[in-house]
């Protein structure tokens, strides 16, 4: 899955918490979210200065929150883990590190309890 395909899939499934998401879909979404946040921050600086409001960046963060949560849950489903494991990220440092390690692993080969293999593996 390419960058633009992953971003369109993220927005197309922005409240779909069922199914599975591949590593490329997840990591391209993360890349897009970081780039959008940086661009919004630069726009905020241009409009409001360094000491001003971060209104644009806040709006972008709000717009990307649900799709990001959705792709994270579907990524965990690809690993045959419940979406509730996303709450592990609330544990400072350790939880985030565990989630990063999990998101770097290949998903379950073949179908699992959350659906068919998005890569089409047998």
Full-model pTM = 0.90
Output the pLDDT for position 49. 86
- Could you list the mean pLDDT of each consecutive 10-residue stretch along the chain, which spans 122 residues? 92 92 96 97 91 89 96 96 96 96 95 91 61
Angle between helices 55-78 and 23-48 (to 10 degrees): 170
Helix residue spans in 49-114 (DSSP H): 55-78, 94-104
Phi then psi for 103, rounded to 5 degrees?
-70, -15
Output the pLDDT for position 35. 98
Q: Where are the domains of the chain?
A: 3-104
Helices (H) and strands (E) in the chain, counts: 4, 0
**CA 35 → CA 31, 32, 99, 107, 119, distances in Å?**
6, 5, 21, 26, 26
Q: Answer whether 22's CB lies under 8 Å from 119's CB.
A: yes
């Amino acid at each position: 899955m390419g960058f633009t395909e992953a971003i369109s899939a993220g927005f197309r499934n922005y409240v779909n918490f069922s199914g599975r998401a591949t590593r490329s879909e997840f990591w391209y979404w993360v890349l897009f979210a970081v780039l959008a946040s940086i661009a919004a921050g630069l726009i905020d600086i241009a409009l409001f200065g360094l000491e001003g409001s971060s209104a644009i960046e806040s709006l972008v963060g709000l717009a990307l929150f649900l799709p990001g949560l959705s792709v994270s849950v579907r990524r965990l489903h690809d690993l045959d883990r419940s979406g509730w494991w996303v709450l592990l990220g609330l544990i400072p440092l350790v939880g985030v590190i565990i989630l990063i390690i999990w998101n770097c692993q290949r998903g379950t080969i073949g179908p699992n309890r959350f659906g068919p293999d998005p890569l089409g593996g047998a």
